[in-house]
Amino acid sequence: MMKRLLLALLLIIAPLPAAEAFPLADGREYVSLGGRWNYIVDPMDTGIYKYHMTLQKPTKRYFADRHFYQDKTTLIEYDFDKAPTLEVPGDWNSQSERLYYYEGSVWYKRTVDFHRVPGRRWFLYFGAVNYQCMVGLNNTILGTHKGGFTPFWFEVTDVLEEGPNSLIVWVNNSRGVSEVPTINYDWWNYGGITRDVLLVSVPEVFVKDYRVGFDGREISVSVELDGGKGCVSVEIPELGIKKKACTGNDGKAAFKFKASPERWSPDNPRLYDISISGGADRITDRVGFRTIKVEGERILLNDEPIFLKGVAVHDENIGINPGRCRNEEDARELLEAAKDMGCNFLRLAHYPHSEQMVRLAEKMGFLLWEEIPCYWNIDWSSEETYANAENQLLEMIGRDANRAAVIIWSMANETPCTPERFAFLKRLFDKTREVDPTRLVSAALQKEKPDFYHPVIDDELIALTDIISFNQYYGWYDGKPSVCDSISWSIPAGKPVVISEFGGGALYGNHGSTSEMFTEEYLELLYRKNLAMLSKIPALCGLSPWCLKDFRSPKRPLSGIQDDFNRKGLIDEQGRRKKAFYVVKEYYEGL
């Protein structure tokens, strides 16, 4: 009998409860479910609605591993076995001309062969699905998820069947006013199962979460078991650390070790092997030990002032593959370009990038700014929108809290100064400091312009941030590059300043006068003028020019110049370096 999957799709998919970390550290046993999945495009959501259904609640639908069912009849037009395939992980827009602009529902399906092993549990782990999804295995709905850039998982131990299993995922990347981000943003709305899908196997009692901390004198390790209590051991062999402790009934145990490890830093991205055992589980990770704090108008890394020589990056690497970054190779190419430019810092804009990107950046010695996509305007008055934003925040922190490279969590980008926005973001700031008091918290603000030549940074969010970060576009949206010579900034004193965006556009190879926009010469002059202007800011502690690489955006149609690319990259989508790249390189090397 054909296994049938009953999918009662909820139109409004509520986010899952607050995230916990599911450490995918090395040492986890998993099978990758990546590869070719069959897919059916469903612009009319036939998988949800019967023909009479319009604005009423969706009916329960039957969606089987070969056909759609409608009240026990087989919709033979919806046959996965005859359907084309998409590569997973991977966005659909860049895999099919017909899906280039597509925003709507796509149904994915693959078969998972399974053989049970006694004493083990299994989880289905998704690195990210943009934007929301419903996951079904055989005839069970596993759950839903909303938020396009953070991991989630479902336990499938009691759902998997011996032999072939039907895994079906409904994905919808439609934008929505009350979504996070909202309907308007300057990047491509890549839909699909965009990051890894893994079937993870763990012992019945396993390490559900662990947090490694360092305050300069002591290493702290907290461990949480799932499936029961038990004895936990922590080992950091190079530091001569090996200790056991038994958890309480809550499955939690905490350790503190006096230690003087080599500090992690961009110049010495020193990582240590750590192993954590609990029950029959043993996982390993590689962690760095550093301290980060603000002291007056300075940022101190390991108690020494540091200047963040950065650049902003989107999670896209067209030159290597035509859409969202899919693997470590995509990340490496971006990071090597940033390293060549002399960077020690990356603003991973405007949403959490992949775990591969974060881990590789840590190995290569980049300090990281990570952010959630509370971008431009959000439905600040909606409790559901807040829950969605907070869930994405917790999933981001849950995944990356053990990465020494991450020094800044950012709550937002260029949001309007309204009471609703302040109240919404204050809750996120408070939640961030509650779950992770060890890092700096900020947001990319924007200048107010009471007077073109005397911009003021006086966003009330500054009361909440550890650093003052703002975006400015003198020389591009605001006047010609020469205006930079006459700008005097009014910035509140007492906190470090990081310019989270500045720059302009140029088409690689488009040469002309310095007065002609979109020429490389114009951009080169813009960078020289901006760097000279920004260097005069007394509390300047960092820069992340916008941005490393030309990236796709439906807001950038200018034929012959943009052609759906935002051309503010210092390198173009093929990795070719514009003249402005060398201006930044020379500046950073001169610091």
Q: Does 520 bind ligand GCU (CB under 6 A)?
A: no
Residue 347 CB, nearest distance to ligand GCU (Å)? 10
**Contacts of 319 by beta carbon, 8 Å cutoff, 6+ apart:** 333, 573, 574, 575
Contact 241, 255 (CB under 8 A): no
Q: Please, which residue, 308 or 499, has the CB nearer to ligand GCU?
A: 499
CA 218 and chain centroid, separation = 30
Q: Please, which residue, 332 or 567, has the CB nearer to ligand GCU?
A: 567
Q: Please, which residue, 209 or 414, has the CB nearer to ligand GCU?
A: 414
Q: Does 502 bind ligand GCU (CB under 6 A)?
A: no
Q: At what angle do helices 355-364 and 328-340 cross, to 10 degrees?
A: 40
Radius of gyration of the chain (CA): 25
Residue 558 CB, nearest distance to ligand GCU (Å)? 13
Q: What is the DSSP letter of 94?
A: T
Q: Please, which residue, 15 or 503, has the CB nearer to ligand GCU?
A: 503
Per-position x/- string for 305-344, each x denoting binding to ligand GCU as judged by CB under 6 A, each - no binding: ----------------------------------------
Q: What is the DSSP letter of 439?
A: S
Distance CA 423, CA 13 (A): 24
Binding-site size for ligand GCU (CB under 6 A) equals 9
Using DSSP's 3-state secondary structure scheme, residue 70 falls into strand
Question: Which of 501, 520, 524, 550 is the binder for ligand GCU (CB under 6 A)?
Answer: 501
Question: Which of 132, 385, 562, 566 is the binder for ligand GCU (CB under 6 A)?
Answer: 566
Q: Please, which residue, 63 or 376, has the CB nearer to ligand GCU?
A: 376
Residue nearest to ligand GCU (CB): 186
How deeply is 250 buried, as exposed, middle or buried, from its count of CB atoms within 10 A (0-12, 13-18, 19+)?
Answer: exposed
Question: Which of 413, 432, 465, 544 is the binder for ligand GCU (CB under 6 A)?
Answer: 413
Amino acid at 569: G
Q: Please, which residue, 187 or 289, has the CB nearer to ligand GCU?
A: 187
Q: At what angle do helices 419-435 and 383-400 cross, to 10 degrees?
A: 30
> Which uninterrupted H or E stretch holds 39?
strand 35-41
Q: Please, which residue, 208 or 314, has the CB nearer to ligand GCU?
A: 314
Using DSSP's 3-state secondary structure scheme, residue 336 falls into helix
Distance CA 277, CA 464 (A): 39
521-524: long-range contacts, CB 8 A cutoff, minimum separation 24: 521/579, 522/481, 523/578, 523/579, 523/580, 524/578, 524/579, 524/580, 524/583
Question: Which of 224, 414, 436, 459 is the binder for ligand GCU (CB under 6 A)?
Answer: 414
Q: Please, which residue, 371 or 390, has the CB nearer to ligand GCU?
A: 371
Q: Does 546 bind ligand GCU (CB under 6 A)?
A: yes
Residue with tokens 């926005």: 421
> Which uninterrupted H or E stretch holds 399?
helix 383-400
Q: Does 544 bind ligand GCU (CB under 6 A)?
A: no
Contact 205, 228 (CB under 8 A): yes
Which residues sit opposite 243 in a β-bridge? Answer: 234
Residue 285 CB, nearest distance to ligand GCU (Å)? 33
Q: Please, which residue, 265 or 471, has the CB nearer to ligand GCU?
A: 471
Q: Please, which residue, 277 or 469, has the CB nearer to ligand GCU?
A: 469
Q: Does 471 bind ligand GCU (CB under 6 A)?
A: yes
Question: Which of 61, 324, 332, 568 is the binder for ligand GCU (CB under 6 A)?
Answer: 568
Q: Does 247 bind ligand GCU (CB under 6 A)?
A: no
> What would the two tokens of residue 46 be?
């036939």
Residues 160-199 that bind ligand GCU (CB under 6 A): 186
Distance CA 396, CA 432 (A): 11
Write out the residues near ligand GCU by the rule CB under 6 A: 186, 350, 413-414, 471, 501, 546, 566, 568
